[in-house]
Amino acid sequence: MYDGLGRPGRNDECWCGSGKKYKKCHLTFDDKLQALYDEGYEVPPRDLLKTPEDIEGIKRSAKINIGVLDMVSERIGEGVNTLEIDQWIYDYTVEHGAIPADLDYEGFPNSVCTSINEVVCHGIPSKSDVLTSGDIVNVDCSTILDGYFSDSSRMFCIGEVSPERKRLVEETKAALEAGLAAIKPWGFLGDIGAAVKAHAASCGFSVVREFGGHGIGFEFHEDPFVSHVSQAGTGMILVPGLVFTIEPMINAGGQAIDMSDPNGWTVRTKDRSDSAQWEVQLVITEEGYELLSW
């Protein structure tokens, strides 16, 4: 096979672990993958695809991740500092038998990223970052449960938010939804980013290029990289079983970013315009997609 992983005999057990004979499980599926590869398309290796058992494991992890964000939505508000949010998330995750994936990931010091106003992503929680009326903040958390990773983020508007900021938050979510609407099983990954970019541009906003979505499930970050400024009809084939995030970071001003913060993590817009982000995790199915974490 194209991915070097070998191919069972017709009457052997299928590689996916279903217990079925290969000819009654993935034989036709593998033929389709090989044909696409032979035609020059980018096809994910089969060990990147998640089985139904894997998807159930990811869903159990995601249940905690979703619960974390639901809990934050009930508590967040004026006067809360982002270190408090970090503690809420750590406590909730651990109490549910899981691990915050952010904590100590490549040296990241906290359990969550909290990105306020002009911060694009990777904001580090701090006692001195006190939320005030008018702020917009992204809370981005990830969970590990029994070796399975889940990941999603939401935007929160604090107190009385300006119409401009509210519109940025709402249209960023709409851009993500446009990306979801562009998904077709056996279609192209690039269709997603093209739809996101088109919606953002129609609103007069710009899309960050340096960061994007990513494969996830067995590891925090897997292939493919999910660009939000891609071209339609390009990129990896959206094969059923492929799990990844869509998480556009959309700026009210220019798309350029500033990564010069001494902490080595926090990313801001170069022009200090506001930025917003929503993130979901999904799996490609034969019918379309299924949301796993949001």
Q: Work out the average pLDDT over 34-46.
A: 98
Domain boundaries, the chain: 49-293
Query: Are the beta carbons of 246 and 181 closer than 8 angstroms?
Result: no
Domain spanning 49-293, CATH class:
alpha beta
- The per-residue pLDDT for range 57-114, each reduced to its tens digit, is 999 999 999 999 999 999 999 999 999 999 999 999 999 999 999 999 999 999 999 9
- The per-residue pLDDT for range 134-183, each reduced to its tens digit, is 999 999 999 999 999 999 999 999 999 999 999 999 999 999 999 999 99
Radius of gyration of the CA atoms of the chain, in A: 20
Q: Work out the average pLDDT over 123-142.
A: 98
Q: Work out the average pLDDT over 35-43.
A: 98
Looking at residue 261, its pLDDT comes to 98
Does the predicted TM-score (pTM) go above 0.75? yes
Looking at residue 17, its pLDDT comes to 87
**What is the distance between the alpha carbons of residues 15 and 26, in angstroms, rounded to a whole number?**
8
Say yes or no to pLDDT of 211 above 90. Answer: yes
- The per-residue pLDDT for range 212-239, each reduced to its tens digit, is 999 999 999 999 999 999 999 999 999 9
Give the burial string for 9-45 (b: 16+ CB within 10 Å, else e): eeeeebbbeeeeebeebbbebbeebeebeeeeeebbe
